[in-house]
Chains A and B, each alone.
Chain A
Amino acid sequence: MAYIGRTPTNAALTASDLADGIVSTAKIAADAVTDAKIADDVVGTEHLTANEVDTAALGADAVTGAQLADNAINSEHYTDGSIDTAHIAADQITNAKIADDQIDSEHYVDGSIDTAHIADNQITLAKLAGGTDGNIISYDASGDPVAIATGSDGQVLTSTGAGSPPAFEALPSSGSHVKLLTTTVSGSDVSAITFDSNYITSTYDNYVAVCQMIPGTDNATPIVQIAVSGAFQGGANDYGHGYYGDGGTDGNDNDRANIEIGGSTGNATGENCAMHVYMYGLTTTTHNAKFAFNSNRDTNGGVHGLSVGGGSVNFNNAINGVRFLFGNGNVKVGSKVTLYGVVQ
C-alpha cells in the first residue's frame, strides 16, 4: 500500500500524518468540502466567482444598508407603488419632482392657500363666487368684504359714515324738487303705474308727478289712487274731486273711488293725455291728503281738451303708495310718469 510521504504511525491516517500544506485541490473530491469544513468568517470575496452569488445564497433581510453602494439603487429595484410616506424624508419633495399640472385641489388643506401663494393680478372675476344682481362689494366695520344690496332705480350710492358700508339711497334732499324715479311703460301694457313705499316715504310730505299717459281703451279718463299700508283704496267714498274743463264744463263730486286727473282721452295714434299732479301731505296724518292737477289731452274726437282741478282723500291715514291709471282699461306702452319729492 502506498502512502503519502511516509508510513502512517497509526493504523489509520490522521491529520498529523499529513505534512502542513500538502493537500492539493486534486486530493479533494468534487462537492466534498461541506459548510462544516470551512472555518467561520474565513471565506473572502476572492473565493467567490464574479456574479455567482445568487438570490438563494443571500439570507432574507441580510443585505444591510452598508452592503449597498452609495447612489447605486436605481428606481428599477423598487416595486411599483412601493415607496410609502415613511421612506420619504420631510421636506424632500422638491418642485422639480412634481409633474406639471398634477396637483389637484384635494391636496390642499382647506383654507390653507394664503395670500403669499397667489400672484398679483391673478384673481379674475370668473374666480369670484356669484352674487346678487346689482350688488356692489364693499367692506364692513370688521374690514371684511360685504355685499351692498342693490338699490332701486334712481337711487344713488351714498356714504353712511365711518365704520359702515355705503348704501343705495334716494338722492339727498337738495333743491326744491328731487327727482325720485322716471318710469316708462315698455314691452307690455300695464294696469297701472305704481310707486310704492320705496318712494312714498316720510322723507317728503309732498310729491309731484309729471305724467304722459296713453289709454289702452279709447275715451278713458286718467285717475289717481293712493295706498294705505300697501293696499290701494277704491271705496265709493274714499275721494272727492272737482274740475273745470274746456268749453265751460265743470264738475264736483265728494263721493268717489278715485280722483280724476284729466278728461276722457283718445287712444288713436299720437293721442294721449299729459298732466302734472301735485300731491300734498301724503305721508302725514295731520290733514287729509290733497291733489291738484293741470291736464291737457287729445279727445277721442281728435281735438284738444283741457282740464284743471284737484281732489282730496277723505281720510287722513298715512299714505305709502300712489298709482296712476285709467278709469277703465290699461295704460298703454309708451306712457311715462316721473315722480319728484318736494322739499319744504
Chain B
Amino acid sequence: MSNSVTEPSVRTKWTAGTLVILYAVITLLPLVWIIATGFKSPSDAIAYPPTVLFAPTLEGYVNLFTDRTRATAQMLADEGEPTTWYGRIVREQGNVIAGPSRYGERFLNSVIIGFGSTALCMVLGTMAAYAFSRFKVPLKDDLLFFILSTRMMPPIAVAIPIYLMFSKLGLSDTHLGMILLYTAVNLSLSVWLLKGFIDEIPVEYEEAALIDGYSRFQAFTKVVLPQAATGIASTAIFCLIFAWNEYAFAVLLTSGTAQTAPPFIPTIIGVSGKDWPAVAAGATIFLVPVMVFTILLRKHLLRGITFGAVRK
C-alpha cells in the first residue's frame, strides 16, 4: 500500500471500477444489439420479448448483398435446386436471387472516397502544416483561424452553392467531386493536428540536415516526415473516419454512381417491409472497421477530437 494521500483507497477503486464497467456495458448494449441482429432471422429480430439466445443465421448478410424476388411454385420448379449456400438460404424464404444488391458498390464508393480524400488531405495538410510550423507565413494566425472557422459552417449551409457549383462543373455524383469536397472539409483538422505534431519535432534536426547540404525540401522529406510518421498516421485515421461517416453532403450531392454507404444503409428494405437483419448486417460491416481504428488511435484520440487543443 502506498502512503500517498492522493492514491485512492482500494474500496474507492472497486466502486469506481464497478460503476464505470456498468456504464460501459450499458453503452455497449446498442452496439452489441446491432451486431447480434445481423445474425438473427427476421422473426427472431422482431420477437417479443427480445431474443438473447437464438440460432445464428447468415440470412441478413445474404439479403444485404442480394436483390431477391418472391417466386411462384412454377418459377421455383423451373429454377431447379440452388447450387450455392446463399442460394439455399434465399430459397428457404421462398425467394429467388434476382441479382447482387447495391450495397457492395456503395461500400466500395465509401472506400474509394474515404481513402482518396484522406490521401489528398494528408499530402496538402502535411505541406501546409510544415510551412505554418517552420516558416514566417504572412498573416499566419489569420490563415490558421480561417482554416479552423471553415469547420463552423453547417454542411447544409454551404451545400446549396456547392450543389450549384458541382452541377455546373459536372462534379455532382462523381467520386472526384466527393473526394475534393471531403478533402476541403478535413483540411482544417489535418492542418491543425499536423502543425501540433510537427511543432514537437526539434528544429535542430533540420538545421543539422541543412548544414550537411540538404535542400529544404530534402530536409522536409527525409528528416521531418519520418519523425512525424506517427502523427501523420493518426491524423490520417481521423480524416478517414470523418469521410467514412459523413452523411449530409453525401445525401445531398450523390444519388447513384458516387453514393457512399451512410445514405444507402437506411434505405435497405426487404421483399416485405423493413429487413432489420439486413440493415444490421450492413451497419455491422460498416461500423466494425471504425471500432478497430478507434483501438489503434486510442493514444491520440483526445488530440484528434479537440483539433489539437488538448494534448494530454
* Pairing of A with B: no
Interface residues, chain A, with chain B CB atoms under 8 Å away: none
